[in-house]
Structure 1
Amino acid sequence: MTSMSVPASPASLSSMMAAQRTPEQARAWHRLLWQERLTSLWAPVCIAALLMLPYTLIIEFVPAAASWAQPVMKGLGLLLVAYWLALLVWRGVSSKWRDARLAAIDLLEQNERALSKPPVREKLAPGVAERIAEQALKVEAASVRGDVGALRSDVGALEVLAEKHLITFRKESPRDFVGGFAKLLLVAVVFRTCFVEPYRIPSGSMLPTLEIGDQVFINKFIYGVRVPFANVVPFVIVRPPARGDVIVFNNPVDESADFTKRVVGVPGDTVELFDGVVHINGQPQTRESVDSAFVVHNLTDNGEWFDQRESLFRESLGGVTHSVLQTPTRTPRHEGPYVVPEGQVFVMGDNRDNSSDSRHGLGITGYGKTEFVPYGHIKGKAMVVWLSLGYHGLLHGLFGGTGLRLDRFFEPVR
């Protein structure tokens, strides 16, 4: 008894094209694809994002490396800005050729998606897939040669073939669209929830460490993945919050607001301040005067910049040395003691006399009412300033004194 053989369905478009290319043609096409990637306006942005990962790890785990790593990153950042501007000019000059080439690549990708599904290939008449592959190779060849006239002609011929045989399969169904969008949304949510999230500094409570308009990346991973809305951290991944950390948290008193403050006390600590000097468990923390008339720039409620003159000190908490401000005319006073409960932290702003922090009800319940921050409300640890739109930056004359602060780029948060 003889068995009937079932004809095999055509291979995918890319495999059929690969089988017909010479090694030289394959190399030329791959070079063209890389050229397209590197001349995309997204290329400098993606390169900057890739550079940020090792830079952030270096300054986070080897703080002393910031002395050389930050100048290197600033230099690379300026090069990437120049790269982006050069691409913008070049794309304007070569727009006709680029438009034709992008149309060709897009058409090839559409046909590849349509022919990648075996049921689609099986429904095609014999020889159709091979004809599409042959015409697609002509489009590739014209793209590599840079022959705009031939490219447009070959793209038109491929479009006719695709319209005749693949039009039904090239249309994206609502299910495919929703599925693709849901995947992208899931990736974005998981990334922001588990790894890194950007945050803008809206006020001067953390001056001079963080300035108004600084955009920082926060490490969502270090303390453990926080479950949004439930405000719980199931388990610690690297370590719990430590003294000296600058954290971003969802205000436990008013959950509509996010704050940035410095962790001063951890569970079990007794925190007191004597004329601004922090004492933890009875031990004064190192603090030295730097400048008695230090000027920082703050914003009024109606968005106008003003100079704020404060006394600048260098303070150490948990081995983290940082700058703090204190109003020179303040009356000496004793604050505390504040006993930090389990699973919570005591926070203060570095602009000590201009901060709605744990000493003052986190800006909600009022002066003299102590409020701590539970672990579950902490979004992450501030790591690095990646962008700054602040006082007297580039083009500030056009935007009421606010401009691009190039000097703040890649500033480690200490």
Structure 2
Amino acid sequence: MAPSSARPRNVVAEVRAGRSGGSASRPKRRGGSAWESVRAFAGTVVLFLLLRTFFIEAFRIPSGSMIPALLVGDWLFVNKLVYGPHIPFTQVNLPGYAEPKRGEVVVFESPYQADEAAVGNDPTPTLVKRLVGLPGDTVHMRDALLYVNGVPQPQGFGADRNPKGDPNEYSPLMDWQREHALAASRFGGAPAQPTHDNWGPVVVPAARFFMLGDNRYNSKDSRYWGLVPRDNLRGRPLFVYYSYDPESGRALPFLTSVRWGRIGHLIR
């Protein structure tokens, strides 16, 4: 037979040719991988900010004004969508899916507090209180008992164990009530000088709310800084996702004084 004209393949030469610029694919540059990481991180940050602004945000309870419903050291998740999320750095509130109800615990931006500004504190802090007066309600207090539209509103379980203070305590901050208090009504007239346990009747105007802390003698609330505008509402607490006792006296209380029984506690 005549010898074949085909030459034998030189595999080694072909591999070398591929390495030196043949058709073999080149490895991706490291810069592309870094850019993908930056994009992934930026996307995560944007998603977090969207969730925090419009849906759910975490809050910490720094004071005892809502004991026993909320304790110092409770960390809460707050539903910001319910009343309509507030767009940061603007005066715009988007529509929510529910209206505030009497008796709910609410997170809101405080009305301006000139006394706090005078000592260098935040004059409009974010607060959490219980909504006790809706627009159109007549609210007043006699001998520490709250009345709404003439109906007594005893506090819930555990509130009676909160420490009591001076029932005749008076603060000039309460003088805002004179503008809204009734000189005469079917519930009686407002006292000449409102005190901690005796004030009103006050009629809550449109688009305003009256807030009180559950720990009445340790709460600076609507009795002092006035009515809360509807646009100041920021959300409704859902549940406690973490809690520890910062006053336990133990080292590292956020690790050694965890209130395990509070975790998952629904806010009512």
Tell me, yes or no, whether TM beats 0.5. yes
> Runs of 5+ in structure 2 lacking a partner?
1-20, 113-121, 169-195
The question of whether the paired residues in 2 share the 8 Å contact of 1:244 and 1:263 is answered with: yes
The question of whether the paired residues in 2 share the 8 Å contact of 1:266 and 1:346 is answered with: yes
> In the alignment, which of 63, 74, 78 is matched to residue 203 of structure 1?
63
After superposition, what is the alpha-carbon deviation per residue over 1:49-80, rounded to whole angstroms, capped at 9, x for unaligned? xxxxxxxxxxxxxxxxxxxxxxxxxxxxxxxx
Letter in 1 for 2:239: V
Measured in 1, the distance between the counterparts of 2:257 and 2:211 equals 30
The question of whether the paired residues in 1 share the 8 Å contact of 2:208 and 2:228 is answered with: yes
CA shift, 1:209, in A, is: 1.0
Measured in 2, the distance between the counterparts of 1:199 and 1:207 equals 16
The question of whether the paired residues in 1 share the 8 Å contact of 2:60 and 2:74 is answered with: yes
The question of whether the paired residues in 2 share the 8 Å contact of 1:232 and 1:375 is answered with: no
Letter in 2 for 1:222: V
Measured in 2, the distance between the counterparts of 1:234 and 1:400 equals 39
Calculate the TM-score normalised by the size of structure 2: 0.68
The question of whether the paired residues in 1 share the 8 Å contact of 2:246 and 2:253 is answered with: no
CA shift, 1:405, in A, is: 1.3
CA shift, 1:236, in A, is: 3.1
After superposition, what is the alpha-carbon deviation per residue over 1:353-405, rounded to whole angstroms, capped at 9, x for unaligned? 110101011xxxxxxxxx11112221110111110021576xx6224797211
Measured in 1, the distance between the counterparts of 2:253 and 2:76 equals 23
Aligned CA distance change for structure 1 residues 350 and 127 (closer, same or farther; 3 Å): same
Name the SS of the counterpart of 1:172 in structure 2: helix
Corresponding position: 1:244 with 2:93: no
Aligned CA distance change for structure 1 residues 165 and 360 (closer, same or farther; 3 Å): same
CA shift, 1:337, in A, is: 2.0
Corresponding position: 1:344 with 2:193: no
Letter in 1 for 2:208: Q
- Match in the other structure for 2:142: 274
Name the SS of the counterpart of 1:397 in structure 2: coil
CA shift, 1:326, in A, is: 6.0
Aligned CA distance change for structure 1 residues 167 and 235 (closer, same or farther; 3 Å): closer
Bigger Rg over Cα = 2
- Match in the other structure for 1:165: 27
Aligned CA distance change for structure 1 residues 252 and 125 (closer, same or farther; 3 Å): farther
CA shift, 1:267, in A, is: 1.2
- Match in the other structure for 2:251: 398
Structural mapping, 1:5-404, within 5 Å = 126-128=23-25, 165-167=27-29, 170-173=32-35, 179-237=39-97, 239-253=98-112, 254=122, 256-287=124-155, 311-312=160-161, 325=162, 327=164, 330-331=167-168, 333-361=197-225, 371-390=226-245, 397-399=250-252, 403-404=257-258
CA shift, 1:348, in A, is: 0.7
Aligned CA distance change for structure 1 residues 287 and 250 (closer, same or farther; 3 Å): closer
Name the SS of the counterpart of 2:257 in structure 1: strand
Measured in 2, the distance between the counterparts of 1:410 and 1:357 equals 27
Corresponding position: 1:409 with 2:268: no
> Runs of 5+ in structure 1 lacking a partner?
1-123, 129-163, 292-309, 313-324, 362-370
After superposition, what is the alpha-carbon deviation per residue over 1:166-201, rounded to whole angstroms, capped at 9, x for unaligned? 23564534xx66654443222111101111110000
After superposition, what is the alpha-carbon deviation per residue over 1:236-285, rounded to whole angstroms, capped at 9, x for unaligned? 32x11111111111223155521111111111111111112111112222
| Structure with larger RCO (C-alpha < 8 A, sep 6+) | 2
CA shift, 1:328, in A, is: 6.6
Measured in 2, the distance between the counterparts of 1:411 and 1:345 equals 26
Aligned CA distance change for structure 1 residues 183 and 347 (closer, same or farther; 3 Å): same
Aligned CA distance change for structure 1 residues 125 and 211 (closer, same or farther; 3 Å): farther
Letter in 2 for 1:244: G
Over the aligned positions, Cα root-mean-square deviation in angstroms equals 2.9
Aligned CA distance change for structure 1 residues 284 and 226 (closer, same or farther; 3 Å): same
Name the SS of the counterpart of 1:353 in structure 2: helix
Aligned CA distance change for structure 1 residues 167 and 412 (closer, same or farther; 3 Å): same
* Number of equivalent positions: 211
After superposition, what is the alpha-carbon deviation per residue over 1:322-363, rounded to whole angstroms, capped at 9, x for unaligned? xxx4617635942222222222211010000110101011xx
The question of whether the paired residues in 1 share the 8 Å contact of 2:165 and 2:217 is answered with: no
After superposition, what is the alpha-carbon deviation per residue over 1:133-172, rounded to whole angstroms, capped at 9, x for unaligned? xxxxxxxxxxxxxxxxxxxxxxxxxxxxxxx622356453
Measured in 2, the distance between the counterparts of 1:252 and 1:188 equals 28
After superposition, what is the alpha-carbon deviation per residue over 1:297-343, rounded to whole angstroms, capped at 9, x for unaligned? xxxxxxxxxxxxx833xxxxxxxxxxxx4617635942222222222
